[in-house]
Amino acid sequence: MELLFEKLITNPVLLSVAIVLAILILFSIIKKLLKITLITISLLALYLGYLLYTGKEVPKTADELKDSLQKKSGEVKEVLDKTVEEMNRSLKEKTSEIMEDKLDKLFNDSSGVDLNE
């Protein structure tokens, strides 16, 4: 490990490559953090706009906002769970119907095949 650091420090080409790589990594991390921050701010602005549009009370403190978001996320989770459950049930029923139709068609349509041979 010490040999690697020594080669890196003594060789200006390797040092410049290492610095450029470090700058690129740092830049990409900052870029991702900025993107996450902008998305979070946008979602927060949309949520507050929704509250204003519907006439609901806009939270005054961060704790009220946090509680409100947790409450809404719980409601959304319940609705999504019910919807997924309903879709699964519907999909199973539809798949069963299609399979029964296909099997009936397959067994009823012998198309001249004699099974006694």
Give the model's pLDDT for residue 114: 56
Q: Which helix (H) or strand (E) holds 31?
A: helix 12-54
Helices 2-10, 12-54: inter-axial angle, 10-degree rounding: 100
The residues near 51 (Cβ < 8 Å, ≥ 6 apart) are 57, 58, 59
Determine the structural domain holding residue 90 and report its residue range.
61-109
40: in domain: yes
Are residues 54 and 1 located together in one domain of the fold?
A: yes
Total tally of structural domains belonging to the chain: 2
Q: Residue 115's pLDDT is what?
A: 55
Instruction: Tell me whether residue 115 is in a domain.
Output: no
The Cα 17–Cα 22 span in angstroms is: 9
Tally the residues of the chain.
117
- Rounded Cα distance, 55 and 65, in Å: 16
Q: Using an 8 Å Cβ cutoff, are 52 and 58 in contact?
A: yes
pLDDT of residue 117: 53
Q: Which of 19, 39, 58 is the last residue of a domain?
A: 58
Cβ–Cβ under 8 Å, residues 10 and 2: no
Structure tokens at 40: 């979070």
Q: What is the mean pLDDT of each run of 10 residues along the chain (117 residues)?
A: 84 90 96 96 90 83 84 86 92 92 81 55
